[in-house]
Amino acid sequence: MIMHHAISSQDGNLFIESTALSTIAGQLGTPCYVYSKAAISNNFLAYQSALVDKEHLICYAVKANSNIAVLQTLAELGAGFDIVSIGELERVLRAGGDPAKVVFSGVAKTASEMQRALELGIHCFNVESEAELELLNSTASSCGATAAVSLRVNPDVDAQTHPYISTGLKENKFGIDINLAAQVYQRAAQMAHINVVGVDCHIGSQLVDIAPFVSALERLLALVDELAGLGIALKHIDIGGGLGVRYDDEEPPTPQSYMSAILPLLMDRSETLVLEPGRSITANAGVMLTQVQYLKSNGEKNFAIVDAAMNDMIRPALYQAWMDIQSISTGNSESAVYDVVGPVCETGDFLAKDRPLSICAGDYLCLMSAGAYGFVMSSNYNSRPRAPEVMVDGDQIHLVRQRETIEDLLSGESLLPAVVR
């Protein structure tokens, strides 16, 4: 059995920190997301301690898990934040995060988003196109502000990950072609309301190999040196996020070994290192709990029909992601190989396929490594209220998001006015 950071097994019972998952499922019902405060903290501290000898800013990628209690945990450790919308920026503020440590990524920032971020004085805009640069310059001008800018370049490196989460190839929509970047920097340097401060890239997600990170950084450094020759001195180099985690039998580098591979390239340089890790901070710090409603067999296949669906956790349906699933068994069950499927009316609605499990109706199941790209990607499809989120701290259970109610589901909708004939 694979042991995940936050989860341990004692006498057939699964625990998160010192709290039994069955207790949480019993108290709060299922489906339910559960996070470990200690695991989130430890994952962040692993980056921080690997970087004691280098000036750095670790900007947690909010989109991986944006619950404000998660952001609060990280803000208290001194984290910065990588955001992709104003909604995420408002979450950071609510959680006590420092806007001066926020970098703003994303290909489609609007003028009103730019305005709000300028007003709060964020660390930097990661600009993804020339058109965006122009809008940012004119927006800053009308606010009487100057925007700190990093250009997100596309280093054309193959991250060798799933095509949907690979972002650093020429064919992807992200960033500015690294071969054209020097020209764009020269334009930016002449804009009255733009202050060029850095360069960034983000080549993909769930990378299990260090080599693509090193290639990307080498290309970035060549650009930084070229720019210095043109009189454009950068203050920081942001190499994005993307470090993978273990879902199955992957062996991704630890933050420590990742940093020791790239730090030699940066040691004699004055630029601050900025990182944007998301998944590697929260994925293995969380699980999703669900309950078996029915067992069903069609002769060829056994199905465990559970109360969580693709609207609660879309990764298996969207990316064919493999996620470990373990039973929190009541003991009186028989072993079989199951497809674990949900209530949503789509054939793509599954959490796991062909898994040996000892279960019976009523048992709880624990979907592992669900702390990143889990709740944040959930929806109300099939009019299903979204699950609650819980943060465990030792033996303390904190409900950090309530289960949605039917009232929540309908709020904001209205009927057409009555027709008067």
Ligand X SMILES: *Cc1c(COP(=O)(O)O)cnc(C)c1O
Cis geometry, peptide bond prior to residue 343 (ω within 30 degrees of 0): no
Measure the CA–CA gap between 196 and 68, rounded to whole angstroms.
31
From the list 201, 345, 360, 366, the catalytic residue is 345
Measure the CA–CA gap between 202 and 190, rounded to whole angstroms.
26
> Would you say 106 and 84 are in contact if contact means Cβ atoms under 8 Å apart?
yes
Binding to ligand X in span 45-64, by CB under 6 A: 61, 63-64
Binding to ligand X in span 235-264, by CB under 6 A: 240-243
> Would you say 293 and 307 are in contact if contact means Cβ atoms under 8 Å apart?
yes
Q: Residue 394 forms beta bridges with which residues?
A: none
Instruction: For residue 202, state whether it binds ligand X (rule: CB under 6 A).
Output: yes
Residue 319 is assigned to a ligand binding site: yes
User: In the complex, what is the shortest distance from the CB of residue 23 to ligand X, in angstroms, rounded to a whole number?
Assistant: 30
User: In the complex, what is the shortest distance from the CB of residue 380 to ligand X, in angstroms, rounded to a whole number?
Assistant: 23
User: In the complex, what is the shortest distance from the CB of residue 421 to ligand X, in angstroms, rounded to a whole number?
Assistant: 53
Task: Specify the residue, 240 or 286, whose C-beta has the smaller distance to ligand X.
Answer: 240
* 360 in catalytic set: no
Task: Specify the residue, 137 or 154, whose C-beta has the smaller distance to ligand X.
Answer: 154
> Would you say 333 and 358 are in contact if contact means Cβ atoms under 8 Å apart?
yes
Residue 276 is assigned to a ligand binding site: yes
Measure the CA–CA gap between 317 and 84, rounded to whole angstroms.
24
Instruction: For residue 178, state whether it binds ligand X (rule: CB under 6 A).
Output: no
Q: Which residues of 14-46 are buried (b: 16+ CB within 10 A; e: fewer)?
A: bbbbebebbebbeebebbbbbbbbbbbbebbeb
Task: Specify the residue, 202 or 386, whose C-beta has the smaller distance to ligand X.
Answer: 202
User: In the complex, what is the shortest distance from the CB of residue 49 to ligand X, in angstroms, rounded to a whole number?
Assistant: 18
Residue 78 is assigned to a ligand binding site: no
Among positions 17, 128, 156, 276, the unique one binding ligand X when judged by CB under 6 A: 276
Residue 170 is classified by DSSP as T
Residue 403 is assigned to a ligand binding site: no
Q: How many CB atoms lie within 10 A of CB 296?
A: 14
> Would you say 24 and 399 are in contact if contact means Cβ atoms under 8 Å apart?
no
Task: Specify the residue, 19 or 66, whose C-beta has the smaller distance to ligand X.
Answer: 66
Convert 181-209 into a string of H (helix), E (strand) and C (coil).
HHHHHHHHHHCCCEEEEEEECCCECCECC
Residue 279 is assigned to a ligand binding site: yes
Q: Is 92 left (phi over 0), alpha (psi -120 to 50) or beta?
A: alpha
Among positions 31, 70, 82, 326, the unique one binding ligand X when judged by CB under 6 A: 82
Contacts with ligand X by CB under 6 A: the residue count is 16
| Residue 356 burial class via C-beta count within 10 angstroms: exposed 0-12, middle 13-18, buried 19 and up | exposed
Instruction: For residue 198, state whether it binds ligand X (rule: CB under 6 A).
Output: no
Binding to ligand X in span 97-116, by CB under 6 A: 105
> Would you say 48 and 79 are in contact if contact means Cβ atoms under 8 Å apart?
no
User: In the complex, what is the shortest distance from the CB of residue 194 to ligand X, in angstroms, rounded to a whole number?
Assistant: 20
Instruction: For residue 128, state whether it binds ligand X (rule: CB under 6 A).
Output: no
Residue 269 is assigned to a ligand binding site: no
Instruction: For residue 123, state whether it binds ligand X (rule: CB under 6 A).
Output: no
User: In the complex, what is the shortest distance from the CB of residue 227 to ligand X, in angstroms, rounded to a whole number?
Assistant: 21
Tally of CA atoms within 13 A in the half-sphere of 282 that contains its CB: 30
Task: Specify the residue, 21 or 57, whose C-beta has the smaller distance to ligand X.
Answer: 57
List residues binding ligand X (CB under 6 A): 61, 63-64, 82, 105, 202, 205, 240-243, 276-280
Instruction: Please report, in range form, the residues annotated as the binding site for pyridoxal 5'-phosphate.
Output: 242, 276-279, 373
- Which are the catalytic amino acids? 345
